[in-house]
């Protein structure tokens, strides 16, 4: 069994090597959620992360995070696999490399392991955090600068109980936290999901915008039958109704006059995937996630392809803590247009957070944290408390 943490060291070098990677530590943590979060393929009552700490030769430490949902059910990566890959392959390859040479670091990581995008994203995030702290600059500045300091943020309704979800949504609206809600469907039969959606739409029609996420649960025939009914309910966006492989089917659905706009998620991991979706006219928007795209640079590459194709941008999440959410916000802050906002409510669904000062949610927006790097500071006591033994 792997130990909770494993450290890879590199001897201190000359002043010219101050930005070299000296040490990488990967720790699995499990943080309970305030309620059940139910997807089509799994249900979550605690969220698991791999927290990556990268120390440079100058003594500065950067942090990053890799999130999964219920193990290797959403993608092939699990927190156990992420930590093992970092410890055995990625960390040894990166020791001694310049932290500020981000593209070179990415090439080194790609040579050490295929895919493993979440593991690589956590390491790259920690590099950006450490370099930003060293230079006194936010990570967004290292990506070209921020054009916004806050983003509209939605909340996901995913308990499966419409009475609880209606009450939860009204509480969020009253507190001016969220006015767009994403509803998870696919765990039940489509008729049951439609009945639940009908109740939610009626209860929230005058106060909120609704988005639906099927998490690949439908086949094309089912989607043809039920997408028009979602349009009748004024659903603003439908996320990944078909399996990720069926890009052609997404394109066929999108050409129908009775279909709501479609959001691509699991079918877009790389810039090449984004190009295939664009060529197939298979989406109106794309969900951007560090765990899919291998880091901040990869996320911006996918966004650039989408922008070139006229496809809208949406900030997706995997229930990240304030660490992972802050990393996403640093990447999103510099995008010219993020028409659909983001869903980085993750810190609010946790019973506790992992940083000393959590992200700020106010007036239906999540605010970019101030300060160098990611703008958040790891709480070592919380890390020890939630670390998996």
Q: Which of 120, 343, 365, 382 is catalytic?
A: 343
How do residues 150-207 score in pLDDT, each as one tens digit?
999 999 998 889 999 999 999 999 999 999 999 999 989 999 999 999 999 999 998 9
Q: How far apart are the first and last CA of the chain?
A: 10
Summarize pLDDT for 123-152 with one digit per residue, the tens. Answer: 999 999 999 999 999 999 999 999 999 999
**Do 145-379 and 7-140 fall under one CATH topology?**
no
Q: State phi, psi for 147 to the nearest 5 degrees.
A: -110, 0
Q: Is 343 a catalytic residue?
A: yes
Q: Count the neighbouring beta carbons within 10 Å of the beta carbon of residue 3.
A: 10
pLDDT recorded at residue 12: 46
Could you give the residue ranges of the DSSP H alpha helices within the chain? 79-85, 91-94, 102-112, 117-135, 139-142, 162-174, 190-204, 220-232, 247-254, 271-279, 290-293, 296-308, 322-332, 346-349, 380-386
Element (H, E) at 49: strand 43-56
Strands 312-315 and 360-362: unpaired
> Is the pLDDT assigned to residue 8 strictly greater than 80?
no
Determine contact, residues 212/182, Cβ cutoff 8 Å.
yes
| Residue 69 pLDDT level (bands cut at 50, 70, 90) | confident
Which of the residues 38, 120, 184, 382 is marked catalytic? 184
- 3.20.20.480, 2.40.50.1070, 3.30.1180.20, 3.20.20.120: which CATH number matches 145-379? 3.20.20.120
Report if pTM > 0.85. yes
5 beta partners: none
Q: Residue ranges of the domains in the chain?
A: 7-140, 145-379
Residue 41 has pLDDT above 60, yes or no: no
* Class of the CATH-defined domain 7-140: alpha beta
More confidently predicted of 267 and 74: 267
Strand order in the sheet with 209-213: 155-157, 180-184, 209-213, 237-239, 262-264, 285-288, 312-315
Judged against a pLDDT cut of 80, whether residue 11 lies above it is answered with: no
């Amino acid at each position: 069994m792997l130990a909770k943490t494993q450290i890879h060291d590199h001897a201190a070098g000359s002043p010219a090597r101050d930005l070299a990677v000296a040490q990488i530590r990967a720790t699995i943590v499990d943080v309970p959620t305030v309620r059940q979060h139910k997807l089509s393929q799994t249900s979550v009552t605690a969220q698991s992360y791999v927290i990556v700490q990268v120390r440079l030769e100058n003594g500065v430490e950067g942090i990053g995070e890799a999130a999964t949902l219920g193990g290797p059910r959403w993608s092939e990566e699990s927190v156990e696999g992420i930590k093992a890959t970092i410890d055995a392959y990625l960390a040894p390859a990166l020791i001694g490399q310049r932290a500020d040479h981000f593209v070179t670091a990415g090439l080194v990581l790609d040579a050490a392991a295929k895919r493993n995008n979440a593991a690589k994203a956590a390491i790259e995030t920690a590099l950006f955090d450490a370099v930003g702290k060293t230079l006194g600059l936010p990570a967004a500045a290292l990506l070209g600068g921020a054009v916004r300091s806050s983003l509209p943020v939605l909340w996901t309704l995913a308990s499966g109980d419409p009475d609880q979800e209606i009450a939860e949504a009204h509480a969020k609206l009253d507190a001016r936290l969220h006015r767009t809600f994403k509803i998870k469907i696919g765990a039940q039969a489509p008729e049951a999901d439609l009945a639940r959606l009908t109740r939610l739409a009626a209860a929230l029609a005058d106060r909120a915008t609704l988005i639906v996420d099927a998490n690949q649960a439908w086949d094309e025939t089912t989607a043809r039958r039920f997408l028009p009914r979602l349009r009748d309910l004024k659903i603003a966006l439908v996320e990944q109704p078909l399996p990720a492989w069926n890009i052609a089917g997404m394109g066929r659905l999108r050409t129908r006059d009775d279909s709501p706009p479609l959001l691509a998620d699991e079918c877009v991991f790389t810039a090449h995937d984004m190009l295939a979706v664009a060529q197939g006219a298979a989406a109106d928007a794309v969900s951007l996630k560090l765990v899919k795209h291998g880091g901040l640079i990869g996320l911006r590459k996918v966004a650039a392809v989408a922008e070139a194709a006229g496809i809208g941008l949406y900030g997706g999440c995997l229930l990240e803590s304030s660490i992972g959410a802050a990393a996403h916000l640093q990447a999103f802050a510099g995008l010219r247009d993020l028409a659909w906002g983001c869903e980085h409510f993750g810190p609010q669904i946790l019973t506790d957070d992992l940083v000393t000062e959590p992200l700020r949610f106010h007036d239906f927006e999540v605010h970019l944290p101030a300060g160098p790097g990611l703008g958040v500071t790891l709480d070592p006591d919380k890390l020890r408390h939630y670390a998996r033994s």
